[in-house]
Structure 1
């Protein structure tokens, strides 16, 4: 079966959206660091963290994802695999047994799993939006998921971890982190991104920061 986001199965997906959310209303985030010395120290730690992550060209994660836009939504599981500049994002809905697969790199993007067959384009974000109607920042999701500030404007919480990021009209909030383990730095566990009526929530269940399988 194909996953047609615009089909009648959206009702079931909307029910799943609440389960994927953090439960209840969003908790108020603590005030961001504003002392110049504290901010500088947090920026230095973030730079060290980003350098380590950018040194891992092959990585992946498994997560629960929920998307809502203009009162409609859906949710499922996301398996992301990155190999250098190439990535594959596989999204599946366990209840409906539908799925799609987005592959992209320097040679463009390809979306499979839609009625009518695969679609291709140069821009992954545009391809997904035109095919499904969903506004998901796929092009930068790999950066945001790992907690990389990139070209955005970061804010740091009291513990010195990245708390929020604003980029290209999106506001990304990091509401939970997994602790560092050995050489591996702390990694985001819960992420919320929003722009206008578009919302994306990500709960990472597993990080693979070594060679991609």
Structure 2
């Protein structure tokens, strides 16, 4: 059973190997010079802290690959609740609830696991290396608060790439989901060596202080 596998393997988790594939070259025409309205756009996105989205997630890496439906991803400041459904590895519906530095994972059968290392617990449960803490920023088109970063913009003055923590986040499509906010990412791909995480957002709305 998947829950037994977590209990047996969690304590033995180690950092991923250093072998990597060459990242595809950046498209021509990108610049690190921010457009004139970037400061205002970034400030507006930073204020966007209570939201809910749905969509799809795909992970490709040497150890395991698969896809999942994002039933919902609710965010309230730094706190998140994420429900994924997938038949991959018998995962079923799995719920992740956490804040930076802590996560509780609930498996389809109701078994719960808690950890101060969110990414390690997710890997133990699903086999996927998912940078969940950083994704809560990258999904809005923002660099995370931890670590240096580089931003690249395209000829439409739209953010095209973030490089941070060894990841390259490529923004493939933007969409004006919510009135009063700048366009939000509709599809992004995060690449780190042999690891690829793709997020496709089908719906996104502001929560307006709703209580979970």
Q: TM-score, normalised by structure 1?
A: 0.76
Does 2:130 match 1:133?
no
1:112 to 106, 109, 113: 106
1:144-159 to structure 2, matched below 5 A, reads 144-150=138-144, 151-159=148-156
Deviation at 1:115, TM superposition (A): 6.5
Does 2:79 match 1:81?
no
Does 2:180 match 1:188?
no
Deviation at 1:31, TM superposition (A): 2.1
Q: TM-score, normalised by structure 2?
A: 0.76
2:174 to 170, 174, 177: 177
Structure 2, unaligned runs of 5 or more: 6-23
Residues 148, 3 of structure 1: alpha-carbon distance in 2 compared, 3 angstrom cutoff: farther
Residues 208, 116 of structure 1: alpha-carbon distance in 2 compared, 3 angstrom cutoff: closer
1:1-213 to structure 2, matched below 5 A, reads 29-33=27-31, 39-40=33-34, 42=35, 44-70=36-62, 72-78=64-70, 79-93=72-86, 98-105=92-99, 108-113=102-107, 117-150=111-144, 151-179=148-176, 182-211=179-208
Structure 1, unaligned runs of 5 or more: 7-25
In the alignment of these two chains, the number of paired residues is: 186
Deviation at 1:94, TM superposition (A): 7.0
Question: Please, what is the CA RMSD of the aligned residues?
Answer: 2.9
Deviation at 1:52, TM superposition (A): 1.2
**4+ aligned runs moved over 6 Å, structure 1:** 94-97
